Structure 1
Amino acid sequence: MSIDMKKILLYIGIASALLQVGCTKDFNAINTDPKATSADLLDPNYLITSGQMAFSSQGYNLFLFSSMWAQTLASTSSLQSNYLSNPDKYVASGSTPDYQGRIWNTDYGATDQYYTGAGNLVAEAIKLTSADATKANVTAVSTIMKLMIMQQVTDVYGDVPYSQAFQGKEGITLPVYDKQQDIYNSFFTELTAAIAMLDASKTVATGDMYYKGDVAKWKKFGYSLMLRMAMRLTKIDATTAQKWAEAAAAGGTFASNADNAVLAVQNSNGHDNAQNRVYGVDIYQTKWSRTLINYLRKNNDPRLTVCAEISTDAETNGNAVAGIVDSSKQIGMPNGFDLNGSTTDISNLLTNPTYPGATTGSPIGKYSRPRYTVYANTNAPIFVLTYAETELMLAEAAARGWNVGSTAAVHYANGVMAAQTELASLGTDLTISSATATAFAAAHPLDISSTTASLKQINEQYWATTGLAFNYIESYLNWKRSDYPVLTPVVYSGNFSNGTIPRRQPYPPSEATLNTVNYNTAVGRLSGGDTWTSRIWWDAQ
């Protein structure tokens, strides 16, 4: 761990203590809050650090739904991992009401006075710096972070508090739920202003863990985020999507994997890769899906040679070791099965005739899982937004006839090559050479026979790329937008989505009682009410 990182984490602790303990000399003074601190004692850079960590490393918040709704992963959801019935089978477990509110609480902040969410942290940094021109880069970085955090919230839930969010100190404790269309319009306006505010001649954001305050990289990040926001709107408002996709391309999106937004973590200090941690906890119940492995095999994709493994007979529950990586032996597990001995049991050859058999340690041991040495490594970095994603989005924009700097085929090839080579950043066991990636892209060019063919190929590649990077919430959200790949819903007894893949997460149950009027107004705008199957604004049917 670097000395700078130790200092940052130390100061985060000091800042947290200040927020809770206060700085007055006389704790008995009337009207003095012993938990308060003053702005001049708090460096806003540490709020950026904490906000980035809270947002990027969410673990079960993401794993419990989107990881298997998009069918990049699968689980029999039995034994100690019965809660994985939520993502794999759309079947509630005892804590589902808690799970459905976790992204909300992490991105906004939980209701207790000592926990502050990712969005609230960076919003506070904006308040502390917006009046000081010398801290323009801190304000800009914090604003871009806030917009990315809030995009996740609205993409998951729909209409949410935005214009009145993060204003508890100003007395707004019951914020209105803004319409998602209005939120997205605000995103583009605020993001444009934040990018323009970035200035290499001014003090950098020293608390930034993505780019260490590099202004040039933050500009590229801002435009790449703008592109992702624009592409979300292709189904509902193609005109606005085109306007902002072209603006992003003109401004300058990521140019190589060197621009990837990546969060480095330190498990030894409790700041780990939570996505990998929860996979390690549920490794015996979590496999790559049949849909994903079949996709990789059909395309002779080099990632199949490094990303998947089968456990060995020497492995016992609670003692995972590196498995068999031979690509010819990999087999993905179908979604929707269990270990309950009925017709839905994974070993029932009548309902699952391709069952490969058990290993000594597990009845599903011969199904492929994410490679243990990398995907269960809690010190591995976390991808936030990548060049591969950006190039694939530009490929789609170009396929739609928009002016984004190059052809769809060129952007697609760039995205495919980047998707292959970026994985080495997660762990050397996932290394694919540039020569191999280049040859694969050349052998699998974009199908430009029709727009539909291009969109299908691009978005299937995007789905696999984000899934293999463990950015499964992006796999799900882009599937929801593009409808690619075509997925077969799991129909399992007692499911909460009428046998369809869920389209959103319901609001946290506490909102109905804590912010009743505004909650009811928002629910009234959902065609199906506050359910798993209602569609948010940009997910038009």
Structure 2
Amino acid sequence: MKKILHYSLLFLFMAVAVSCEKGLSDLNVNKTNPTGLDPALLLNQGIINTSFPVKSLVFDVGIVQQMVTPNGGVLAGANFNQDSRDVTTQPLWTAYYQSVIKNTSDALARAKENTARSNMYQMARIYQSYVFMILTDEFGDIPYTEGGAGMTGHVLFPKYDRQQDIYPKIIQELTDAAAALNPAGIIETGDLLYAGDVAKWKKFAYSLLLRAGMRLIKVDAAKAQSAVQAAVAGGVITSNADNAYIRHDANFTQPIGGTLNGPEAANFYLTKPFVDQLKNTNDPRLQAIAIRYVGATSGAEQTVAVGSTDPTKQIGMPIGKDNGTIGASATADGLPSFYGYSQVDRRRIVKISSPVFLVTAAQTNLLLAEARLKGWVTTGTAEQYFAEGIRAHMDQMVVYDPNSAVSAAARDTYVAANPLVAGSELQQINTQYWIASFLNGPEAFANFRRSGFPALTPNPYGQPNNPDVPNGTFIRRLTYPTSELSVNTENLNKAITNQGPDKLSTRVWWDKP
């Protein structure tokens, strides 16, 4: 009887203990905390963080001679033909891998598990392909296959893929994802780029496919033609209503706009090649873009009262000048100081709320003009695509600010006065692409290397003894960040062995003379 009582009490004690532990366990469960992130939120985070970082202004925009600064230090880069990997290249690499690629990879993993959200999965594939294209165009060989596997696959030291292996994969991703988008499926209305509009996402994907195909003209003409024709058959962006661009506001500020309205407001200037191109052709976009603070001798004197948007008064800063030499150039140009050179108008097109354009009708129409010349497009004419590209960019200016709008009359007068001329088509088309890609540094830099136009004079700074950029040449790529050199050394060294020296002058695979 005592044994029975003993076992009964023991059983009761164990039951109470288990019950208490269960209760304590339940107390530790947060019933209001989500168990998983919506992939739409992850994709949106990736989109927002794609806005081109300030260091793209220092290198990409400077390499293609649209804006430069005569100041060194943390701003040293393209204008000095100087490699500044620690303070310049790392932000783009870090921002894209640690934020954009991380978020799109996570979105892909989560959306793939939910077959009902197939459209979200395809959208993330398309967007990630776009970002990988920027990364490989900027640096060459990069982590692609394992580039987004840090969180999902716990790959801490990703291997580098060769660019010649990356591009076919990007082309395949864009092709498959565009085809799989389904207007009858769930429409992801929370998407920041197109509010889930499947038709617009398809055009975005096919426009990227067109862009990717044109990159390969010099290295794989057959693959290039195939990609271009598939893109055109799928339907590309030819109207500004379908442009892919990132919106900004007081909470999500435009990076370059924030800098040019803040600490570097008086440090960046439109270049002489860019201003002269617009000024000498009576291009109405000069008045939409530029401002010159007449008579300014300091940043403090760059006030609205002395600001002029009159195109006849704009004067571009010569490239390759530093603080020791820019003064003489300003004097020769009739200015009291370099603060009187023309700048991009930070109160209109580079506000903190200004949009960042990724892929536009202007760019796509101009690529179609070139593809039509090659016979890869059989509809329309090169002349029509060329004219439509110019019109689209001029019409796009109003999105920055109503005061940057180009009138229809001014637009049509310019188009009529600047037709496509036999024998100079490639130069004309790609010079217009340069203008249409203003403030999209990575794309302007990539297309300049691909096409060789506009016909710019190499930056003379530091020549002829510059170890990074040989005399009479241009910067051809950005160098890898120090973090990769010190942490992912083995994989990075393999990439350098394959691609060539980790220098600004080393060409990426598709960039052939």
TM over 0.5, shorter chain: yes
Residue number among 82, 93, 102 corresponding to 1:120 in the alignment: 102
Residue number among 395, 409, 417 corresponding to 1:443 in the alignment: 417
Q: Is 1:46 aligned to residue 30 of structure 2?
A: no
2: CA distance, partners of 1:409 / 1:210:
31
On the 8 A contact 1:279/1:375 being kept in 2, the answer is no
Q: Residues 523-538 of structure 1 correspond to what in structure 2 (within 5 A)? A: 523-527=496-500, 529-538=501-510
Deviation at 1:314, TM superposition (A): 7.2
Q: Is 1:465 aligned to residue 436 of structure 2?
A: yes
Residue number among 429, 447, 470 corresponding to 1:498 in the alignment: 470
- Aligned residue in 2 for 1:8: none
Cα-to-partner distance string for 1:124-161 (whole Å, 9 max, x where unaligned)? 11100113221011111111110001001100111111
Residue number among 334, 348, 371 corresponding to 2:318 in the alignment: 334
Q: Residues 385-424 of structure 1 correspond to what in structure 2 (within 5 A)? A: 385-403=359-377, 405-424=379-398
On the 8 A contact 1:356/1:367 being kept in 2, the answer is no
Q: Is 1:195 aligned to residue 178 of structure 2?
A: yes
On the 8 A contact 2:257/2:346 being kept in 1, the answer is no
Deviation at 1:480, TM superposition (A): 1.0
Deviation at 1:171, TM superposition (A): 3.3
Query: 1:379 is paired with a residue of what secondary structure?
Result: coil
Cα-to-partner distance string for 1:221-261 (whole Å, 9 max, x where unaligned)? 11111111111111212221111111111111113111111
On the 8 A contact 1:397/1:404 being kept in 2, the answer is no
Deviation at 1:315, TM superposition (A): 8.5
1: CA distance, partners of 2:431 / 2:145:
35
- Aligned residue in 1 for 2:11: none
Which residue type is aligned with residue 50 of structure 1? Q
1: CA distance, partners of 2:510 / 2:113:
35
Query: 2:125 is paired with a residue of what secondary structure?
Result: helix
Residue number among 361, 364, 378 corresponding to 2:338 in the alignment: 364
2: CA distance, partners of 1:411 / 1:231:
16
Give the 3 Å change call, closer, same or farther, for CA 70–314 of structure 1 in structure 2.
Answer: closer
Which residue type is aligned with residue 455 of structure 1? L
Deviation at 1:40, TM superposition (A): 4.7
Cα-to-partner distance string for 1:331-354 (whole Å, 9 max, x where unaligned)? 1111111222xxxx12326xx774
Which residue type is aligned with residue 508 of structure 2? I
Which residue type is aligned with residue 335 of structure 2? G
Cα-to-partner distance string for 1:59-103 (whole Å, 9 max, x where unaligned)? 32311211101101122115xxx433312112356xx42322222
On the 8 A contact 2:57/2:67 being kept in 1, the answer is no
Query: 1:306 is paired with a residue of what secondary structure?
Result: helix
Give the 3 Å change call, closer, same or farther, for CA 515–356 of structure 1 in structure 2.
Answer: same
Query: 2:123 is paired with a residue of what secondary structure?
Result: helix
Q: Is 1:512 aligned to residue 494 of structure 2?
A: no
User: Could you tell which deviates more after superposition, 145-154 or 376-385?
Assistant: 376-385
Residue number among 435, 454, 457 corresponding to 2:425 in the alignment: 454
On the 8 A contact 2:83/2:504 being kept in 1, the answer is no
Deviation at 1:378, TM superposition (A): 0.2
Which residue type is aligned with residue 470 of structure 2? N
- Aligned residue in 2 for 1:347: 327
Give the 3 Å change call, closer, same or farther, for CA 84–171 of structure 1 in structure 2.
Answer: closer
On the 8 A contact 1:61/1:99 being kept in 2, the answer is yes
Residue number among 149, 159, 162 corresponding to 1:179 in the alignment: 162
Give the 3 Å change call, closer, same or farther, for CA 502–133 of structure 1 in structure 2.
Answer: same
Give the 3 Å change call, closer, same or farther, for CA 429–321 of structure 1 in structure 2.
Answer: farther
- Aligned residue in 2 for 1:90: 81
1: CA distance, partners of 2:82 / 2:512:
25
Deviation at 1:539, TM superposition (A): 0.5
Q: Residues 215-254 of structure 1 correspond to what in structure 2 (within 5 A)? A: 215-254=198-237
On the 8 A contact 2:271/2:318 being kept in 1, the answer is yes
Query: 2:509 is paired with a residue of what secondary structure?
Result: coil
Cα-to-partner distance string for 1:19-55 (whole Å, 9 max, x where unaligned)? xxxxxx96999xx9x9xx9995311110011000011
- Aligned residue in 1 for 2:3: none
Residue number among 240, 257, 260 corresponding to 1:279 in the alignment: 260
Give the 3 Å change call, closer, same or farther, for CA 28–318 of structure 1 in structure 2.
Answer: farther
Q: Is 1:373 aligned to residue 347 of structure 2?
A: yes
Which residue type is aligned with residue 278 of structure 1? T
Residue number among 92, 102, 106 corresponding to 2:95 in the alignment: 106
| Identity of matched residues, % | 32
Which residue type is aligned with residue 54 of structure 2? Y
2: CA distance, partners of 1:235 / 1:27:
64
On the 8 A contact 1:72/1:292 being kept in 2, the answer is yes
Q: Is 1:260 aligned to residue 243 of structure 2?
A: yes
On the 8 A contact 2:39/2:111 being kept in 1, the answer is yes
On the 8 A contact 2:363/2:437 being kept in 1, the answer is yes
Structure 1-normalised TM-score?
Answer: 0.84
Give the 3 Å change call, closer, same or farther, for CA 514–372 of structure 1 in structure 2.
Answer: closer
Cα-to-partner distance string for 1:353-391 (whole Å, 9 max, x where unaligned)? 742212xxxx21321111131134101222111100010
Deviation at 1:262, TM superposition (A): 1.7
- Aligned residue in 2 for 1:157: 139
On the 8 A contact 1:250/1:404 being kept in 2, the answer is no
On the 8 A contact 1:59/1:277 being kept in 2, the answer is no
- Aligned residue in 2 for 1:539: 511
Query: 1:411 is paired with a residue of what secondary structure?
Result: helix
Query: 1:348 is paired with a residue of what secondary structure?
Result: helix
Which residue type is aligned with residue 347 of structure 1? G
Which residue type is aligned with residue 91 of structure 2? R
2: CA distance, partners of 1:404 / 1:380:
37
Structure 2-normalised TM-score?
Answer: 0.89
Deviation at 1:393, TM superposition (A): 0.7
Which residue type is aligned with residue 38 of structure 2? D
Residues paired across the two proteins, number: 481
On the 8 A contact 2:52/2:440 being kept in 1, the answer is no
1: CA distance, partners of 2:111 / 2:301:
49
On the 8 A contact 2:142/2:161 being kept in 1, the answer is yes
Structure with the greater alpha carbon radius of gyration:
2
Deviation at 1:521, TM superposition (A): 1.0
Query: 2:348 is paired with a residue of what secondary structure?
Result: helix
| The structure with more helix, counted as a fraction of residues | 2
1: CA distance, partners of 2:254 / 2:110:
29
Query: 1:41 is paired with a residue of what secondary structure?
Result: coil
Cα-to-partner distance string for 1:411-444 (whole Å, 9 max, x where unaligned)? 0010011111101101111101223212321221
Give the 3 Å change call, closer, same or farther, for CA 88–373 of structure 1 in structure 2.
Answer: same
2: CA distance, partners of 1:477 / 1:385:
13
User: Could you tell which deviates more after superposition, 66-75 or 314-323?
Assistant: 314-323
2: CA distance, partners of 1:202 / 1:287:
48
